A and B are shown apart, each in its own frame.
Chain A
Amino acid sequence: MNLASASPWHGKGLRIDVSTGGATVAAVPPDVSRAYLGGRGLGAYMLLAERVFEIEPLAPQNPLIFAPGPLTGTGAPAAGRYSVSARSPLTGTIFDGNSGGGWGNALKHLGYDYLHVTGRCATPSYLLVGGGGSELRPAAALWGLDVPDTLARLRELHPGSEAAVIGPAGERGVLFASIVNNRGRSVGRGGLGAVMGAKNLKAIVLAGDGGWRPRPVDKERFDFVVYEATKMLKSNPITSQGLPEFGTAVLVNVLNQAGALPTRNFRESRFELAEQISGETLRRDYTTKRGACRGCSIGCARRTATAGESGDGPEYETIWALGASCGIGDLTAIVEANYACNRAGMDTITTGATIACAMELTEVGALKGGPRFGDASAMRELVDAIALRDGIGDELAQGSRRFAAAHGHPELAMQVKGLELPAYDPRGMKGQGLAYATSNRGGCHLRANMLYPEILGIPKMIDRFATLGKAGLLINMQNLACVLDSLSLCKFTALAMKEDYYARLLSAVSGEMVEPQELLRIGERIWTVERLFNLAAGFSAVDDTLPPRLLNEPVAAGPAKGHVVDLAPMLAEYYICRGWNAAGVPSRAKLEALTVAGLAEAAGVEAQ
């Protein structure tokens, strides 16, 4: 069967209530597909329209929305991705994460623009979706298995399938549990794995092939743009050399040299043992094989091995979180802790950052007998304790915000809106501070990473210590990130490609002219819808802030010495550039221009 389609959208999704196993096929109107593209954008639209801001994150009614994008599986560079959207149990905000591997392609081939999963299985189950429909299968034999064993078992049961699963952390409700699919790629952050666990849902298996294959309307033009895009990726030293050779860990030395590698829970911004945990060391002593998501020419993934174990990763963020952030320079311990997180299905950033928070609480005397900075064996034990919710691990499984507050020092949780900050100290790259503060899903580098212009010089190098004049650039990056997550393309392509490439790819696939500027407008619409969700959920401008340390404690030494983040003027400029008032609420004119005024009104958000 060949269902080659001229449209990049199927125009339908599958809604499944796992309480009953009932499934219905629902239409996706063409105007919704064009306005939100797919992936993250489609998820954001549905979460706001369905008033999910009123639903507790771990309640059965909180939907998990799995969605590929219009470019998924088309052969566009690094386009084999999908998003998962829900309200986060860690942050309470709207949340989405995306992953590579082959799961997104498989869903697209089955003929759906999304899977919408609500309810709670009476007993542990997994969901099997194929060309003929869906069914719930008992997962008693899978429950309790770690991620690799679950994936392996499901491959045995359903040869040729693609599975997205949770590990023990998701089963036990660790608030930063992840969802992991074949090839070891994760929807890592925000605890979407806990949402899945709360549904008693161990896995979603895509088996069989619905027969759909992409057929760009203008195939010749599509091939031409792919050729030109690939040229750009192959001529850029980051995408053709740095990432393929070292993986994302190439950034350890880059950020350390810049004085922007947060160390010991952001107390310092340079790590004296950085060389020991660098990408160069990882390549030399641990890397056994390079890997790539389907359809990707960059290949930033890698297999590694220690004397006793082997597995995927670690990524840069992981090395930082379990390493510099905890004051640990033992790369073997970091690599093996990463394996443990992967087995349990836990976000390594929040895991490491929460342990670092516990280490500082110990240092200041607020946590008796707790772990100390630099103690690799304590860090390693705590990873397992968190996954099992054993002892202090049960508290740590709530994330740093709740943990630090419970021990009397909320200011020591290095988080924004409840999500732990990643591996970039904004005192050494001020625009990143604004990016963290304004991120719709909390402290995150994937909503927009000012690393590009402030450290890597993409599109051009800007003064990383300057404050004013960066809001417009950040907003364009945030809007573009929305576009990439909704087309479902890897963000690393933006290291070498500009928005016009994405517009030309979508135009060739759909046969409808999409201008680059229109694409950014779509990104702005998605960002605004996410903001509306958060406003409706009770978030406000008060939450657009940073941990006090970053605002008040100057960096003591290194290239960023003496710097703090002067956030207030940046934030004021940001709101103006967004067309929001001083309280961070979009103007009516802005909402109408983005055609979301009706959504805002229905959500009860009063435009200013």
Chain B
Amino acid sequence: MIDQFQSIGRDLFVAGLISSHGGNMSVRMGDRILITRRGSMLGRLEERDIIDTGLDDNDANVTLASTEIVVHRAIYQSTAALAIVHTHPPYAIAQSLVRDEILPIDSEGSYLLHKVPVVSAELTAGSVEVAGLLPQWLKEYDLVMLRGHGPFAIGHLLEEAYQLTSVFETTCKILTIAESTGRAVKEYRKGSERYENW
């Protein structure tokens, strides 16, 4: 398991999806959570950076867990997710500041995401407010964007959540570049106008 955290954490940093100490990941193992350490560098994870704590009950290890542990727990308690990846990708954050939902225009994003809801909260980091908001959205969508902060992606495997995160940032980058040309996007997909109802 440590190998997966290390390789995906490294990729998240190299791909520019997080800053040096940003983001967090976890997996659920029954009634336990393995979550990255608060303040750890996902690009340089070591064994001590993976914190094993309870899903429902606190233990001493919670003192070392990521700030977002409250959100991760809430997601696991409300969904069948087995893995969560949370990052701070710049294009996605930029798009979330000007939209209430993000509709991919590229092929890969269309297939895998269809639509990404943007959710607003006053307190965006490790807050009970976010813990109350996000799971409701993640019952319906595998990736939800927290405005100005970053996406939370869920999956049965860490790699799945990582893939959705990566695809989402690429989607937002393409969207940003296409918009920057100032030209109308030529539609190539049948029924894409219905993606907002996905």
Contact = CB atoms under 8 A, between A and B. Distances in A.
Interface stretch (A220-228, A268-276, A283-291, A354-362): A220-228
Interface residues of A, number: 32
Interface in B1-54: 1, 27-31
A503 B28 CA distance: 23
Contacts of A500: 140-142
B9 to A, nearest CB: 16
Contacts of B198: 504
A453 B159 CA distance: 12
B155 interface: yes
Contact of A221 (B80, B157, B197): B197
A5 B157 CA distance: 39
Interface centre among B28, B78, B138, B157 (most CB of A within 10 A): B157
A515 interface: yes
Interface stretch (A41-49, A388-396, A471-479): A471-479
Given A515-B139, A520-B80, A227 B191 contact: yes
A330 to B, nearest CB: 41
Nearest to B83: A472
Interface centre among A468, A517, A520 (most CB of B within 10 A): A517
Interface centre among B28, B111, B114, B194 (most CB of A within 10 A): B194
Contacts of B1: 469
A403 B178 CA distance: 69
Interface in A496-525: 498, 500, 503-504, 515-518, 520-521
B156 interface: yes
B80 A476 contact: yes
Interface string A209-250: 000000000001100100110011001000000000000000
Interface in B158-174: 159-160, 163
Nearest to B155: A459
Contact of A476 (B114, B156, B191): B156
A460 B111 CA distance: 17
B122 to A, nearest CB: 26
Contacts of B29: 468-469, 472, 573, 577
B5 to A, nearest CB: 12
Nearest to A471: B30
A119 to B, nearest CB: 41
A6 interface: no
A391 to B, nearest CB: 50
B133 interface: no
B186 interface: no
B159 to A, nearest CB: 4
B119 interface: no
B190 interface: yes
Interface in A549-608: 573, 576-577
A495 interface: no
A221 B155 CA distance: 25
B82 A473 contact: yes
Contacts of A577: 29-31
Nearest to A575: B30
B56 to A, nearest CB: 10
A459 B156 contact: yes
A269 to B, nearest CB: 25
A517 B111 contact: no
Interface in A396-435: none
B30 A573 contact: yes
A459 B111 contact: no
Contacts of B140: 500, 503, 515-517
A472 B139 contact: no
A473 B160 CA distance: 12
A473 B30 CA distance: 10
A23 interface: no
B185 to A, nearest CB: 20
Given A227-B190, A232-B111, A576-B30, A516 B155 contact: no
B79 interface: yes
Contacts of A503: 140
B194 to A, nearest CB: 5
Contacts of A145: none
A541 interface: no
Contact of A460 (B31, B141, B157, B194): B157
Nearest to A573: B30
Interface string A522-542: 000000000000000000000
A576 B31 contact: yes
Given A500-B140, A517-B79, A231 B111 contact: yes
Contacts of A456: none
A518 B160 CA distance: 20
Contacts of B138: 517
B82 A472 contact: yes
B28 A472 contact: yes
Interface in A447-481: 453, 459-460, 462, 468-469, 471-473, 476, 479
B30 to A, nearest CB: 4
Nearest to A474: B156
Nearest to B198: A504
Interface in B104-151: 111, 114, 138-142
Nearest to A475: B80
Contacts of B82: 472-473, 476
Contacts of B160: 459-460
B156 A517 contact: no
A517 B136 CA distance: 10
B159 A518 contact: no
A173 B78 CA distance: 47
B157 A473 contact: yes
A119 B18 CA distance: 66
A460 B166 CA distance: 15
Interface string A137-168: 00000000000000000000000000000000
B165 to A, nearest CB: 14
Contacts of A498: 142
Contact of A462 (B31, B142, B157): B157
Interface string A116-143: 0000000000000000000000000000
A473 B111 CA distance: 23
A224 B28 contact: no
Interface centre among B27, B80, B141, B190 (most CB of A within 10 A): B80
A235 B142 CA distance: 21
A460 B80 contact: no
Contacts of B114: 228
A518 B136 CA distance: 11
B30 A517 contact: no
Interface centre among A453, A471, A516 (most CB of B within 10 A): A516
Contacts of A469: 1, 27, 29
Nearest to A227: B191
A603 B197 CA distance: 43
Nearest to B82: A472
6 contacts: A220-B194, A224-B194, A453-B157, A469-B29, A515-B140, A577-B29
Given A500-B141, A573-B30, 8 more contacts: A227-B190, A460-B159, A462-B157, A472-B29, A472-B30, A503-B140, A517-B140, A577-B29
Among all A-B residue pairs, the 10 with the closest Cβ atoms: A576-B30, A517-B139, A515-B139, A577-B30, A460-B159, A520-B80, A472-B82, A517-B79, A224-B194, A515-B140
